[in-house]
Amino acid sequence: MNGYLAFLKKEIFEYVKTYKLLIMLMVFTVFGITNPLIAKLLPEILESLINDKGIISLPEPTAYDAWTQFFKNATQIGLIVMVILFSGVLSSELSKGTLINLLTKGLSRTAVILSKYTCMVLVWTKSIALCFVLTYGYTVYLFPKDETSNLLFSVFCLWLFGLFLLSALLFSAALTKSNYGCMLITGIVVVACMIMNIISSVHKYNPISLATDNMGLIMNSIEVSSLYSAIMISCLLSLIFVSLSVVIFQKKPL
């Protein structure tokens, strides 16, 4: 427990000092502010470009467009930035040998894995919360009349998918030596989820539903209850990935 807390503190300190936290927060702040703005301005920009001939008139933007931007940016660019930033979570320490000193001080390997996961989850939570609050504020300001449903639940699903992705990332990091290997395996996990999504009966249980069904939830075209299985499976898989990481890392020659 001592080791876990001390190492968690070190991890947080590291994310602050190496600007990783700052990069994550900045990326998600930019998304948070631009999501509603792009939704509002994009039709006007497009119209000013093509309206000379008056052929197309675009529909009025709504809050839905702002949230579409939110989920698109967060799931596409946001998660990719996160995976790239965190891909060196173990490999950088292993290749430099910085962990050796601490492990020979009696720090348990389990504590290393658990505190690393905790810290990644904290950074992700902070980033997505910041992005959400900013998007929410601007959306309410720019589109005051539009109503959305299941908004918090939808964001919760996305957050949970982030947790799942981070557990897969940690598992990949424990499995490989380099951060490229780590990114590769994480990518394979995501692609596997996407491919399985083609089978419609799997969709209900597929963790990736948590990152693809968000707009459906907000527009009420997808039932909240239809995602319960995917939530259960995601939690279970995350738990399995983290446990496997602990077991694999325990056996890793350093």
Partner 1 sequence: MGVLEIKQLYKRFGHHEVLKGLDMDVPEHSIFGFVGQNGAGKTTTMKIILGLLKPDSGSVTVCGEKATYGGSKTNRNIGFLPDVPEFYGYMTPMEYLKLCGEITGLTKSKIKSKSEELLELVGLKGEKKKISGFSRGMKQRLGIAQALLNEPKLLICDEPTSALDPVGRKEILDILLAAKGKTTIVFSTHILSDVEKICDRIAILHGGKLALCGTLSEIKERRRHNGFVLEFENEKDASSFENAEELKQPSIGLSRNENTVTVLLPDHDMDGHLLLSVLSQKRIVPLKFEVMEPTLESLFMEVVQ
Neighbours of 22 (CB within 10 A): 12
Tell whether residue 96 is a contact of partner 1 (CB under 8 A): yes
Per the CB < 8 A criterion, the answer to whether 23 and 84 are in contact is no
- Contact flag: residue 85 with partner 1 (CB under 8 A): no
Nearer to partner 1, 159 or 249 (CB): 249
118 binds partner 1 (CB under 8 A): no
| Residue among 161, 141, 142, 143 nearest 153 (CA) | 161
**Segment 129-158, which members bind partner 1 (CB under 8 A)?**
none
> Among 49, 52, 59, 97, which residue sits at the site for partner 1 (rule: CB under 8 A)?
97
Position 3 contacts partner 1 (CB under 8 A): yes
Using rule CB under 8 A, residue 14 touches partner 1: yes
Provide, rounded to whole angstroms, the least separation between the CB of residue 93 and partner 1. Answer: 9
- 4: tokens are 């876990």
103 binds partner 1 (CB under 8 A): yes
Q: Phi, psi at residue 150, to the nearest 5°? A: 55, 30
Task: Give dist(CA 182, CA 173) in Å, integer.
Answer: 5
Quick one: which of 181, 183, 164, 170 has its CA closest to 247? Answer: 170
Contact call for residue 22 and partner 1 (CB under 8 A): no
Interface with partner 1, residue 17, by CB under 8 A: yes
User: With CB under 8 A, what is the number of residues at the site for partner 1?
Assistant: 28
How far apart are CB 252 and partner 1 at their closest, in Å? Answer: 8
- Our finding on whether 161 is near partner 1 (CB under 8 A) is no
- Concatenated DSSP letters of 116-136: HHHHHHHHHHHHHHHHHHHHH
User: 4, 111 in Cβ contact below 8 A?
Assistant: yes
Kindly state the tokens that stand for 201.
């009966």
Q: Does 71 bind partner 1 (CB under 8 A)?
A: no
Give the one residue of 25, 102, 184, 185 binding partner 1; rule: CB under 8 A: 102
Report, in Å, the least distance between residue 102 CB and partner 1.
6
CA distance 244 to 119: 18
Contacts to partner 1 by CB under 8 A: 2-3, 5-7, 9-10, 13-14, 17-18, 96-98, 100-109, 250-251, 253-254
